[in-house]
């Protein structure tokens, strides 16, 4: 609701006292009920609690907090009475305006209510009464420039949308690049693991090769050993044969004396 500072009540003395706020001493606006049953304007009681915490009623004087403030939806007839209270506009001096329609009067028809130039959003600083509005708009340079400014604003807006689109595309591409980098890092990690495994396999192959070479060397030495053994066997056979011949010779020599003795014994 428009500030009540813009109007004053007509025939104020005859307004029902039950409709008067005990803080501002004016007819209630947005009534609020407190714990003792008294009713105040919402803004009045909230401002009052900012400077003191006791109920304004001398008969109550209880401590108050925001939990004690209850909206008081009055009967429709009471609302109607409050809205039909007659007021006088302190700006244009028009009188006998219903309080319930005063906002509409200020926003639409009060000739002295100060408003902004429609060119404010493009730089016009004019702020004056409504009755001077038409004359101002006829000479306002900003309003004359509005068609061009609107085109520029449209161009700027389109550029802003294009920039936002490019930013989204850039963000998407950045995300995709990040994903690709992650995949590349994963591939690099796999390659490093495979490289390590290949190195281990190479080491095992070299060990196997070394063992094979050792076995091959041992196998190459086996014929030499076998040849040596065969040579030893031949020598032994020759010695055995020589010994047998010596034994035969000895037996023959021993048999000669035996034959002679046998002959003599005859």
Is the per-residue pLDDT at 133 higher than 70? yes
pLDDT averaged over every residue in the chain: 83
Domains of the chain: residue spans and CATH = 7-112 (3.30.40.10)
Strands 97-98 and 114-116, bridge-based pairing: unpaired
Closest Cα partner for 217 from 229, 227, 225?
225
Look at residue 160 in the predicted model and tell me its pLDDT: 93
Q: Which of 95-99, 145-149, 236-240 has the highest mean pLDDT?
A: 95-99
Is the per-residue pLDDT at 78 higher than 90? no
**Tens-digit pLDDT profile for residues 138-147:** 898 888 888 8
């Amino acid at each position: 609701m428009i500030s009540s500072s813009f109007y004053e009540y007509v025939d104020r003395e005859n307004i029902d006292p039950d409709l008067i706020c005990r803080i501002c001493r004016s007819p209630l606006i947005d009534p609020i009920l407190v714990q003792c049953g008294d009713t105040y304007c919402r803004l009045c009681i909230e401002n009052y609690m900012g400077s003191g915490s006791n109920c304004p009623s001398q008969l109550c004087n209880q401590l108050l907090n925001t939990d004690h403030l209850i909206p008081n939806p009055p009967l429709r007839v009471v609302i109607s009475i409050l809205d039909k209270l007659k007021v006088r506009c302190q700006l244009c001096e028009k009188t006998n305006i219903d309080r319930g329609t005063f906002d509409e009067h200020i926003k639409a028809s009060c000739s002295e209510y100060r408003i902004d130039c429609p060119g404010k959003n493009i730089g016009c600083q004019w702020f004056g009464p409504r009755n001077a509005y038409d004359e101002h708009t006829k000479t306002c340079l900003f309003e004359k420039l509005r068609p061009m400014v609107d085109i520029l604003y449209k161009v700027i807006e389109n550029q802003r949308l294009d920039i936002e689109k490019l930013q989204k595309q850039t963000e998407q591409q950045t995300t995709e690049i990040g994903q690709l980098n992650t995949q590349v890092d994963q591939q690099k990690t796999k390659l490093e693991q495979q490289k390590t495994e290949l190195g281990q396999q190479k080491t095992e192959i070299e060990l196997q090769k070394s063992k094979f070479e050792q076995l091959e060397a041992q196998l190459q030495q086996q014929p030499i050993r076998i040849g040596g053994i065969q040579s030893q066997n031949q020598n032994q056979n020759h010695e055995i044969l020589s010994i047998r011949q010596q034994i035969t010779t000895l037996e023959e020599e021993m048999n000669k004396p035996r034959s002679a003795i046998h002959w003599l014994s005859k």
